[in-house]
């Protein structure tokens, strides 16, 4: 097979460093011998890499394991303080941020209200959040890998919006990633909520180590994040998984997009609010929905009855199209409500091969709750700088 690109020694070392970090992220603390076995590298190569990574403070040595015979074995784990990342989200009513360490733990949070901000307001606002969180966390800014931003699509290309998440002029053709990066002096990666959440679950959550899975994001609308063969699949214009306006009920409810029976009208917070008789979701305090759910949630059952059919249809479509290991459900919807929806999904449509052995259930709930997009955004720089498959992808793209 013809090699896709030349690899020099430095590139190979950088790639192998990613392989070692990923192995420890997926399996937990590992010794040099275990790392060599898992990565198919020599013990000598692994030893050199481990030494480099310990010196860079990305790995740390754990307590040696004593064995009945021979030398004790030292396992290595990721050093949470070795690197940090920033996750940002821009919604219709606020901008929010988290600063996480290498393990994904939140070290600082910040949030400011902003009603449907345009770029002139949003970029300085987010830069302010970044500054505030760095100061509050008391970390060395040199150890920041970058910032990720989760915002609803749609996109024209690399970090350039085509339609605004806030339906206001000013965002069309706006280079979000470049503008924000110039302002905060860090690399910036931009993805839609569903893709960011998928990466977050892949790095720290229920999809850790999975090669292929689909993330169904339920929030104001519905979208899908696709991780296929270890890589985030974005599509030719970065709009893969924008499924909100696929027809699930022919001739069904009218949609602002002009069609009828769109998925968004049945499975989204907007659809829940419609069943509860709330006109504008923006006028509702998010905690209010939780309170109504606890109080029995009149109208919720009716929504579940209506949502479960379209949801089964979507899961069936993605399973047949992509053969994923599992479908993860999560998003900005209250976790209690997502759980009730998930519990109602059975019986799912029969799988393609009912006898196939499964390591995971067909549908699982995401681990990160309502923070899923913002934690996913923080995971983007970590994933892009430590995941070996992503590294190969970038090399090919050059």
d(CA 191, CA 213): 17
CB nearer Zn ion, residue 123 or residue 240: 240
Q: Cα separations (Å) of 377 from 87, 88, 248, 260, 383? A: 5, 6, 30, 33, 10
CB nearer Zn ion, residue 268 or residue 386: 268
Q: Nearest approach, Cβ of 245 to Zn ion (angstroms)? A: 4
Q: Does 255 help bind Zn ion (rule: CB under 5 A)?
A: yes
Closest CA to 180 of 53, 312, 87, 83: 87
Q: Nearest approach, Cβ of 61 to Zn ion (angstroms)? A: 55
CB nearer Zn ion, residue 257 or residue 282: 257
Q: Does 257 help bind Zn ion (rule: CB under 5 A)?
A: yes
Among 60, 245, 253, 340, binds Zn ion (CB under 5 A): 245
Strand 76-78 versus strand 59-61 pairing type: antiparallel
The DSSP code for 203 is H
Q: Does 260 help bind Zn ion (rule: CB under 5 A)?
A: no
CB nearer Zn ion, residue 33 or residue 257: 257
Q: Nearest approach, Cβ of 255 to Zn ion (angstroms)? A: 3
CB nearer Zn ion, residue 245 or residue 344: 245
Q: Does 15 help bind Zn ion (rule: CB under 5 A)?
A: no
d(CA 205, CA 328): 10
The DSSP code for 340 is H
Q: Cα separations (Å) of 363 from 69, 153, 330, 352? A: 45, 25, 11, 15
Q: Which of these ranges, 60-68, 84-92, 255-263, 289-297, lies near Zn ion under the rule CB under 5 A? A: 255-263
Q: Show contacts with Zn ion in window 54-113 (CB under 5 A).
A: none
Q: Does 167 help bind Zn ion (rule: CB under 5 A)?
A: no
**Do 329 and 359 meet the contact criterion of CB atoms below 8 Å apart?**
no
Q: Which of these ranges, 3-11, 21-29, 203-211, 252-260, lies near Zn ion under the rule CB under 5 A? A: 252-260
d(CA 90, CA 117): 9
Among 58, 108, 224, 262, binds Zn ion (CB under 5 A): 262
d(CA 73, CA 33): 9
Binding site for Zn ion (CB under 5 A): 245, 255, 257, 259, 262
């Amino acid at each position: 097979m013809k090699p896709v690109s030349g690899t020099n020694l430095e590139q190979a070392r950088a790639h192998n460093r990613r392989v070692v970090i990923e192995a420890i992220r997926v399996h937990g603390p590992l010794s040099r011998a275990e790392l060599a076995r898992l990565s198919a590298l020599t013990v000598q190569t692994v030893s050199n890499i481990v030494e480099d990574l310990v010196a860079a403070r990305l790995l740390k040595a754990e307590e040696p394991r004593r064995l009945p015979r021979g030398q004790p074995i030292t396992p290595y784990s990721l050093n949470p303080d070795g690197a940090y990342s920033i996750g940002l989200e821009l919604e219709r009513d606020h901008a929010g941020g988290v600063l996480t360490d290498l393990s994904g733990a939140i070290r600082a949070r910040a949030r400011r209200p902003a009603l449907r901000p345009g770029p002139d307001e949003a970029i300085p606002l987010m830069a302010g959040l970044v500054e505030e969180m760095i100061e509050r966390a008391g970390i060395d800014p040199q150890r920041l890998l970058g910032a990720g931003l989760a915002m609803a699509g749609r996109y024209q290309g690399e970090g350039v919006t085509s339609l605004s998440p806030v339906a206001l002029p000013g965002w069309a053709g706006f280079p979000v990633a470049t503008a924000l990066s110039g302002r905060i002096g860090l690399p910036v990666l931009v993805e839609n909520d569903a893709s960011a959440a998928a990466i977050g679950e892949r790095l720290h959550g229920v999809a850790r180590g999975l090669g292929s899975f689909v993330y169904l994001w339920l929030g104001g609308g519905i979208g899908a994040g696709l991780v296929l063969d270890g890589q985030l699949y974005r599509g030719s214009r970065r709009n893969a998984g924008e499924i909100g306006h696929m027809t699930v009920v022919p001739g069904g409810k009218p949609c602002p997009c002009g069609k009828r029976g769109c998925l968004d009208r049945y499975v989204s917070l907007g659809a829940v609010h419609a069943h509860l008789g709330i006109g504008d979701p923006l006028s509702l305090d998010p905690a209010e929905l939780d309170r109504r759910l606890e109080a029995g949630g009149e109208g919720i059952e009716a929504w579940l009855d209506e949502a479960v059919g379209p949801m089964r249809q979507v899961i069936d479509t993605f399973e047949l199209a992509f053969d994923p290991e599992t479908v993860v459900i999560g998003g900005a919807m209250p976790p209690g409500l997502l759980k009730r929806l998930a519990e109602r999904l059975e019986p799912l449509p029969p799988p393609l091969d009912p006898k196939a052995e499964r390591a995971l259930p067909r549908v699982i709930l995401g681990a990160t709750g309502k923070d899923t997009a913002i934690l996913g955004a923080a995971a983007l720089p970590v994933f892009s700088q430590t995941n070996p498959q992503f590294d190969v992808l970038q090399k090919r793209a050059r």
